[in-house]
Each structure stands twice: as structure tokens, then as C-alpha cells.
Amino acid sequence: MDTMSEKTPVNTTSTAPTTTRQSADNVRPRTGPQQRLHFGNDNINTNNAITDEKHGLTRPPPAPFTTSNGPANSNGSAHGQRRLRASEEFDRRYDGPFGRPSMGMTRRRSSQATLAIPEGAVATVGGRRSTDVLGSPTSPTIPSDNNNNGILDLTTGATSSAERIPTFQPEPPALNYTLRTRKMAIFLFWTVIVFDSVAMPIALYFGLWYGVGPGNPDDERLSANTVFSIVTAALGGASILEYFLRFWRLYRNGSTCRIPGVENRWALDWFHWMFSLAWIIVMIELIVGSVPDDPYIRLLSTPLLTMLYVFGTLMLAIDTMRYFKVPAPVRISSQPKGAQMRPGIYSLIEDICAVDGSGGTEFRIALDRRYEASHVFRAMLRRLGIFWAVGAQGCAVLTTVLVFALTNVDIAYIIGWSLPFVWAGIWTLFTFWYVKRELKRERTLWAAEAAKGRSA
């Protein structure tokens, strides 16, 4: 398989010398005094040329967006077609060991109408001479069509001098993270969580209610309000402790698990904000349910359902917005505001493994590289996101119906505090099986593509 390349028409109408800039680790569209590429059918208004005061050069202004059917209107559409957003390459990149340079260098936004050419990587256009990436003179000729619309191969000409892209990657970019060495820590953590969020509320309710509470009229020493005040006060100790521990890991100076490129200590990750919202709602439920003299036992059975509703709803919202190509309204962990969204489960994996799983900022970066490089990996996360979001909503709805429909309040209380964990266990087992299968398939397809490319 030949190396895939993305080709962008080059504007050849400018008569002024071209200035270029080079970044050691990134090729991004920029504004300012630099060479700009325009589609060959763009109409450049040379009367509105912009002067570069610093370098004494003149360059044309950005061309209006056009399509084969004619120029676009003011909102960026042409005959019903929307202008492509800069982040659209998330789902339109070339993948595999012979893909474009997203595996070894920072993402380049390729779907914009204008692109910057790094200094030293400009080939000849219309017979003008250029230099290669390392600065040595060269005189390659850019392939052009019959209309003299220059075509620049950005895959071969846009690599930086600091980091050259290899011919192929022998295997998918590594995540540098494994659960095998963390089995005991995971087991102990979830043992404490299950005890704190399942065994304790059920045991305290039946022990106090039927031992010294209203359920034992012969020896009633505690009122119903007192019983549930004790139960409510004992709930969520481990979860609250974990909440403040992960907050401190993100907030402290020199944090090693913070979002890459974010220096604001209050810029917590997406999972922490979701967790905060869920806990606020849970606290309101517990207060409202336990304050009356006759507590709302059924309402006090729903904290786990609230967690499912919050996480499931937000994940579904993200996946829905992603499907309709709505840009991110806010920063979602490593995904900046305005970027095309990734699956809802992506940020949860990134944040939990980086902070709670001690993967650090390095894991966030490695996950981003793997997501960009492998279409199998991206498809796997899309399916898992829908699987968990729909499952969470389904479990929450089913449990809510049982809690408020069953006549026996004791059974309803048990179901409210136990069924979500049963569902989570089943979903986790299936996820392990599915991920192992897909990662094996990913390695097989990647190796086959690499072998085919080397033999071509």
C-alpha cells in the first residue's frame, strides 16, 4: 500500500515573495505573515491585499469559501452545503502504519481552507526554488493540473526538522498502561466501594429499623427520622474521600495528571465536574428524604440511580452532539472548546485512568495518539460509549420503576441499592471480553497493512 497523502491546492497568483515559519513539533493553520494556501478556484481580490509590515511583504487576504457549485453565502454554506469545521478531521483521517503524520506529531487541522507551510518545507511553485526540511537547497516540482493549480503533497513536505515521521509504524501507538499490575489495587478499591455503597446502607437500614426502630414496636428506641439520619450520615464515606483525593491530585502545584497544556489549577477534568454534579443531586435527595418525621424511604433508595442518570445522560448528549457534528460547547478534558467531540466514554477513560489509575498526563497524551492513529480503536470506543450510555439509562429507568412501583418498601430499598451494581458488573465483564477481542483485531489488521505496505 502506498503512503496515503492529503493534497491541497496551492494559490499561485501571489507575486510577492513568500514568508514561511516552522514549528518544531506542530504544523497548524495560523494567522499572520506567512504563506497561505487557497483552493485553485478561489477568487482572490488582489486589491485588498494585506501588507506584512514586519517583513515588508504583501499577501492576499483569505479567499471566500467556494464550492464547485459557486461561492458560499455569509454563513459558510453553498447551496445547502455547510463549511467544514477545522476539527472535522477527527473522523476523516488516514489510519494505520502508513497514515498521515498524526501518529508522530501534534494534530494538523487539515480541513481548513487555508494552511500554513513550515519554513524550509516549501517546494517550488511556478518554477520558484525552495529548500527541504533540513534547509538544504532543493528544487522539487509540485504536481499540478492543466489549469496550473499547484498541488502540494503535505505528507512529504510538511514534516518538521525536529521530528521526522517514520515510513511506517510497526504497531499501534502504545498506551503505556496496563491493568495487570493494578489488579490488587482495583480489587481493594471496589471492595470498599461495594461495602460502602451497598452493604452498609442495607445493613444499617434493617439493623436499626427492625432492631431498635419502628420495625420493633416492643423495643423502639429510635424514631424513623433518627434511623435514616444515621444511615444517611454513614453513606458514601469512601466515595467522598476519593472525590477530595482526586481533586487534590488535579489542583496541587506540579500535578502530574492534569490536562495537557492547561495551567489553571481550577481547570478540573470532565469526570470531576460530572461527579460533582451527581453528588450535589444525591445530597439534595438525601436531605429531602431524611428530614421529615416519616422519611421518604423510596426516595432514599435512589442515590445510585441518580449517578446512572447523570453519567448516562451526559454521555448520550455528547454522543448525540458528536453524531450531528456539533462542536464542543466547553472543554471536555483534553478536547478543547470548539473541537469536534469524541465519544462520551473517551473522557471517562482518559480521566479515570490518568487520575484515579495513576496513569498521569502521559496517559492522556498516549490515548489521544492511539485514538487518532487507529480507526479500529475509534470504532471500539464509539460502540462502547453507546453500550454504556444506553445501558446506564436503561438500568436507571428499570430500577426507578421497581423502586416506586413495588408495594413492599423493604424490597424496593434493596433493589435501589443493589441492582445498579449488578448491572455494572455484567457490563464490565462484557466490556473486558469485547476490548480484548477488538485490540487483538486491531493488532492483526495493523500488522497486515504494514506488511502489505513494505512489500509494495
- Tens digit of each residue's pLDDT (9 = 90 or more) over 367-425: 999 998 899 999 999 999 999 999 999 999 999 999 999 999 999 999 999 999 999 99
**Does some domain include residue 25?**
yes
Domain boundary among 169, 197, 219: 169
**Does some domain include residue 174?**
no
Distance CA 62, CA 52 (A): 14
Eight-state DSSP code of residue 120: T
Read off the pLDDT of residues 239-277 as tens digits, 9 standing for 90 and up: 889 899 999 999 998 899 999 988 888 889 999 999 999
Same domain for 218 and 351, yes or no, is yes
Quote the number of domains for the chain. Answer: 2
pTM for the predicted model, two decimal places: 0.65
Same domain for 163 and 216, yes or no, is no
- Please report the sign of the dihedral spanned by the C-alpha atoms of residue 339, residue 345, residue 349, residue 355: positive
* 15 contacts: CB under 8 Å, gap ≥ 6: none
Least confident of 36-40, 94-98, 267-271, 409-413: 36-40
**Does some domain include residue 56?**
yes
**Does some domain include residue 354?**
yes
CA distances from residue 355 to 176, 254, 292, 365 in whole angstroms, order as listed? 15, 14, 39, 13
Residue that has been written with the C-alpha cell 434511623 in this structure = 227
Same domain for 143 and 105, yes or no, is yes
Same domain for 201 and 245, yes or no, is yes
pLDDT at 169: 74
Distance CA 14, CA 32 (A): 16
Domain boundary among 169, 195, 222: 169
Q: Is the pLDDT at 329 greater than 60, yes or no?
A: yes
Q: Is the pLDDT at 77 greater than 80, yes or no?
A: no
Mean pLDDT over all residues of the chain? 73
pLDDT at 96: 57
Same domain for 258 and 405, yes or no, is yes
pLDDT at 456: 62
Same domain for 320 and 254, yes or no, is yes
Same domain for 198 and 156, yes or no, is no
Same domain for 53 and 197, yes or no, is no
Domain boundary among 169, 192, 225: 169
Same domain for 215 and 147, yes or no, is no
Same domain for 267 and 403, yes or no, is yes
Same domain for 145 and 214, yes or no, is no
Q: Is the pLDDT at 153 greater than 90, yes or no?
A: no
**Does some domain include residue 236?**
yes
Q: CA neighbours within 13 Å on the CB side: how many for 456? A: 12
List the domain range (segments joined by +) for residue 122: 1-169
Same domain for 86 and 107, yes or no, is yes
**Does some domain include residue 175?**
no
